[in-house]
Amino acid sequence: MYTTRLLKSIALGISLCILGACNQPQISAEPDTAGVAAATDAWYEALNAVFEGNSQPMKQIWSHGEDVVYMGPAGEYLIGWKAVEGAWDAQTAQRLGGRVLPERVNMIVGKDMALINCIEIGENQVGGETMTVEIRSSTTFRKEEGAWKAVEHQTDLLPHVNTSG
């Protein structure tokens, strides 16, 4: 009798997979969208602090792992916290001024990973000239010890940003 139930259960599982039910994404019943929204707000507060010459908020929002990735507006492709931290220090030293905010924000929130896509809109000040910013951006957050930390950031290129030091 046990073998018959087991075989029926296996047959049901195979049937469900054939129908596509086993390929459905597992979505948390209660994703932490409020926490991810707060992390996104903190990200843009930190970015604007970088423009004013303060990198500390940006350093706090990032994970300090060796698996973090930064593909920023200067065209760099950096892996690991030390390299990413250096890029933020170089960008901070430029004191770009201005302000950038996200528009058309799309959030995909899982249990401990979240992806934010948006258009970054604003301006920077370079040599007394106002430079428009309107680029696509994605940021990935990972929940670490109860806090959402950036583990990836990628943008389109901006010719007025240079992190070569």
In the chain, where the domains are located: 26-155
Q: What is the pLDDT, as a whole number, of residue 161?
A: 77
pLDDT digits (tens, 9 = 90+) for 89-122: 999 999 999 999 999 999 999 999 999 999 999 9
3-state secondary structure the chain: CHHHHHHHHHHHHHHHHHCCHHHCCCCCCCCCHHHHHHHHHHHHHHHHHHHCCCCHHHHHHECCCCCCEEECCCCCCEECHHHHHHHHHHHHHHCCCCEEEEEEEEEEECCCEEEEEEEEEEEEEECCEEEEEEEEEEEEEEEECCEEEEEEEEECCCCCCCCCC
Q: Which tens digits make up the pLDDT trace of 116-165?
A: 999 999 999 988 899 999 999 999 999 999 999 999 999 999 988 765 54
Output the pTM of the full model.
0.79
User: What pLDDT shows up at residue 6?
Assistant: 44
CATH T-level fold of 26-155 = Nuclear Transport Factor 2; Chain: A, (3.10.450)
